[in-house]
Structure 1
């Protein structure tokens, strides 16, 4: 086999930022690192790119190993390439972020990695440059969610409009006018109203909604602004 001569080996790692929403808080799924350096410290789920894999293949493999889930929202975010980012040898880090339904994850948990959900406002210290990765993911998610219905990927099959609004308010750390939010969401035509109500919060209850999958897919790249314009991050932050 012909190889390039006089070249230094560089490893490629794929790290997954796995986000969920439990109805009140955004959460990040972390694992305890099982080897040195930084053994037993908290880390994003990751692994090295194999010779026969594409980056997308590797990210899906890593996500499936931890959560047991397939066909979830997964997007390549950024490449981290500082020469000293890993103390052992030169490693390029390609980062993906995934949005999953926490309830689905809990049904298929893999305990091998000592995985645990942490509220975003109460994260532990992370290894290497993983904290920088997470902060970048939040910035990109805020920008994208202001334009496209990407946050719907975090929802269970049935949900209420108050739950949906709480999810948007949690991401942007702001209060949104209920009437305007409801009007904008319903006018998008991507939701189906169910006959059943959620009465856990009040006697009157709130109707459950489900996603119209066909309309959702057709409108995913359409600009659907559910939050006030002044809350949308600048495009330069994306």
Structure 2
């Protein structure tokens, strides 16, 4: 038997903040809207949740439809529901964030996104809706996260130098880190494996490392205090 509900119901959307690291700086994936409202404006990937959809399924579907990204790390951020945030009516959005490597996920617009592109976090265009607020909240979450969980497996190449890992942390925090203290603290957590491989080129060779996935996942699960 069908039931009716006497009160107005808001629409529900999902929005996704996709962070990437190009080796020097933190980036975010944006789409250019191909429909109104905000036609032609840059925005976070996202869209309306279908009646039969789970929230995470909706977020993953929208990501794939609008940017071609699939099978990525995805974590729920929070809900945004300030009245007036969407000119189409009363719309509540559940935001998610993802961590990927831009070289493995080239930007490709589709469906109602006429274009998709990676932007440096310090050089973003104006964003549609309240997406600047959502992005700021996601960046704050990421900066907090690296203090109690390891971050890097999704953002760095399989083999990397400690300098690259430090550059990642500095890009997320937006400030320099003391090299000696960073390496001492990080190596104490025992989820990095030094390799008998080195970088090549004109500069002094640097040892490559990889994450021990088992120890990395255990550290991420139990958490730790990484005071930077």
- TM-score where L is the length of structure 1: 0.88
Q: How does 1:32-111 map to 2 (within 5 A)?
A: 32-65=32-65, 66-70=67-71, 72-106=72-106, 109-111=107-109
- Greater shift, 90-99 or 185-194, is seen at 185-194
Counterpart in the other structure of 1:189: 190
Question: Is 1:31 aligned with 2:31?
Answer: yes
The change in CA–CA distance for 1:123 and 1:90 in structure 2 (over 3 A counts) is same
CA distance 1:152–1:227, shift in 2 (3 Å):
farther
Residue-by-residue CA offset, 1:123-171 (whole Å, 9 max, x unaligned): 0000110000011111111111111103432112121100000111122
d(CA) in 1 for partners of 2:109, 2:12: 25
Cα distance change of structure 1 residues 79 and 48 upon mapping to structure 2, 3 Å threshold: same
Q: For residues 1-238 of structure 1, what are the structure 2 equivalents within 5 Å?
A: 1-65=1-65, 66-70=67-71, 72-106=72-106, 109-112=107-110, 113=113, 114-200=115-201, 202=203, 204-228=204-228
Worse-matched range after superposition: 136-145 or 192-201: 192-201
- Poorly superposed stretches of 4+, deviation over 6 Å: none
Q: Judging changes above 3 Å, is the alpha-carbon distance between structure 1 residues 227 and 22 closer, same or farther for their aligned structure 2 residues?
A: farther
The offset of 1:85, in angstroms, is 0.8
RMSD between superposed Cα atoms in Å: 1.7
Alpha-carbon distance change, 139 to 68 in structure 1, aligned in 2, over 3 angstroms = closer
Cα contact 2:68–2:109 (8 A) shared by 1: no
Three-state SS of the structure 1 residue aligned to 2:222 is coil
Q: In structure 1, what is the Cα distance between the partners aligned to 2:69 and 2:138?
A: 22
**TM-score normalised to structure 2 length:** 0.91
Unaligned runs of 5+ in 2: none
State the number of aligned residues: 224
Give the gaps of 5 or more residues in structure 1. 229-238
Higher helix share: 1
